[in-house]
């Protein structure tokens, strides 16, 4: 069985790994990490662990492309809004080391002891419009599509044996609850168990409810506090100047709790993009090419509804037990 120290190392890894990094850290900074033996049970939850650099207690570093990186601009602007800055990891500024740029962020698991952790990707669209603007027919994406579902391509696509990247991305979104509910459960970790990562196909209302019930373990106080936190986060997003002027793609909700406290934050702004002056979004309307809607708040609405159903079901079960 893993020791308490090994559990702590694993959980710290999961917390910083949930930041969904995309670029590797410098060999110099990683040298010490790579030479240390990994604890028993070490497992990747999501993202790219080779690009994360833990520092002093309570802080992690995330590599960025440069000081004009979208995520830098996002945290800098969010930090100017007192209420909005409370629903994301604390931002401690920029750091340059060996010619590489990093942002320093709050370690979201600092202070928790052997907690349960859930990572939920928000939005009905998790790709940028610029990523799917090329209309070239791609045989490789057709092969990926039929490997999952041979009946998915249209007759014309079968004849061409190729699909556009947009078509493939929309197909991929349809495999999860992202397209219909505006969120998908990416991964979770329950106390004393290995992380569960293969959850992207958890898409029906019943599957989602069962997963949430398993995660919350009928803890009424946690359910109540989490619902309060999620509703507060939604209100802050609705009133935020930053969110009013930005398209938010690929961000996640990071939820963690233990026996003593609960926390929830919005993480990962690598694909946040400022909107043109003539455009505005409400984060709820369906996406059409060019309108930049991504369904962030639609996902929050549906997620809150899912947690409310679990809370109500828990209340009903408790009432039955008292009869």
Q: Please give the Cα distance from 232 to 87 (Å, whole number).
A: 9
The answer to whether residues 160 and 252 belong to one domain is no
Please give the pLDDT value at position 100.
Answer: 87
120 in any annotated domain:
yes
28 in any annotated domain:
no
Write out the chain's pLDDT in tens, 323 residues: 445 554 444 444 444 444 433 333 333 333 333 333 332 322 334 555 556 676 767 888 898 888 889 999 999 999 999 999 999 999 999 988 888 889 999 999 888 999 999 999 999 998 999 999 999 999 999 999 999 999 999 999 999 999 999 999 999 888 999 989 999 999 999 988 888 887 877 889 999 999 999 999 889 999 999 999 999 999 999 999 999 999 999 999 999 999 999 999 999 999 999 999 999 999 999 999 999 999 999 999 999 999 999 999 877 655 433 43
Please give the pLDDT value at position 51.
Answer: 63
Q: Which of 316, 323, 318, 294 is nearest to 131 (CA)?
A: 294
The answer to whether residues 124 and 258 belong to one domain is yes
The answer to whether residues 218 and 162 belong to one domain is no
Please give the pLDDT value at position 97.
Answer: 85
The answer to whether residues 124 and 261 belong to one domain is yes
The boundaries of the domain holding residue 208 are 116-129+177-317
The answer to whether residues 73 and 135 belong to one domain is no
| Beta strands 262-267; 252-257: pairing state | antiparallel
210 in any annotated domain:
yes
Please give the pLDDT value at position 226.
Answer: 97
The answer to whether residues 155 and 182 belong to one domain is no
The answer to whether residues 139 and 212 belong to one domain is no
Number of structural domains (the chain) is: 3
Q: Please give the Cα distance from 237 to 219 (Å, whole number).
A: 27
The answer to whether residues 303 and 183 belong to one domain is yes
221 in any annotated domain:
yes
The answer to whether residues 142 and 192 belong to one domain is no
Please give the pLDDT value at position 194.
Answer: 81
The answer to whether residues 146 and 51 belong to one domain is no
Strands (DSSP E) contained in the chain are: 52-54, 59-64, 91-97, 100-106, 116-122, 183-189, 246-249, 252-257, 262-267, 271-274
The answer to whether residues 135 and 169 belong to one domain is yes
The structure tokens 């440069």 sit at: 66
212 in any annotated domain:
yes
The answer to whether residues 82 and 146 belong to one domain is no
């Amino acid at each position: 069985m893993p020791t308490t120290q090994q559990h702590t190392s694993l959980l710290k890894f999961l917390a910083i790994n949930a930041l969904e990094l995309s670029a590797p850290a410098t060999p110099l900074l990683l040298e010490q990490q790579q030479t240390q033996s990994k604890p028993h049970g070490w497992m990747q939850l999501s993202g790219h662990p080779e690009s994360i650099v833990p520092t002093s207690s309570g802080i992690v570093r995330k590599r960025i492309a440069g000081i004009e990186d979208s995520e830098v601009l996002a945290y800098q602007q969010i930090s100017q809004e007192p209420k909005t800055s409370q629903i994301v990891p604390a931002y401690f500024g920029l750091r340059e080391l060996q010619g590489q740029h990093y942002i320093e962020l709050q370690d979201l698991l600092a202070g928790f002891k052997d907690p349960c952790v859930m990572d939920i990707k928000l939005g009905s669209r998790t790709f940028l419009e610029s990523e799917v603007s090329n209309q070239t027919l791609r045989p490789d994406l057709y092969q990926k599509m039929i490997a999952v579902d041979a009946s998915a391509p249209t007759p014309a696509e079968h004849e061409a044996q190729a699909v556009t990247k947009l078509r493939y991305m929309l197909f991929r979104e349809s495999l999860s609850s992202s397209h219909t509910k505006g969120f998908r459960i990416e991964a979770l970790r329950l106390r004393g168990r290995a992380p569960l990562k293969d959850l992207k196909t958890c898409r029906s209302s019943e599957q989602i409810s069962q997963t949430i019930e398993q995660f919350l373990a009928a803890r009424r106080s946690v359910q109540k506090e989490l619902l309060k936190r999620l509703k507060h986060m939604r209100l802050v997003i609705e009133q935020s100047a930053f969110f009013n002027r930005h398209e938010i793609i690929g961000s996640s909700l990071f939820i963690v709790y233990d026996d003593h406290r609960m926390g929830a934050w919005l993480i990962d702004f690598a694909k946040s993009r400022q909107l043109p002056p003539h455009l505005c979004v409400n984060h709820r309307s369906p996406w059409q090419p060019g309108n930049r809607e991504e369904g962030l708040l639609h996902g929050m609405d549906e997620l809150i509804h899912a947690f409310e159903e679990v809370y109500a079901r828990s209340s009903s079960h408790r009432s039955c037990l008292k009869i």
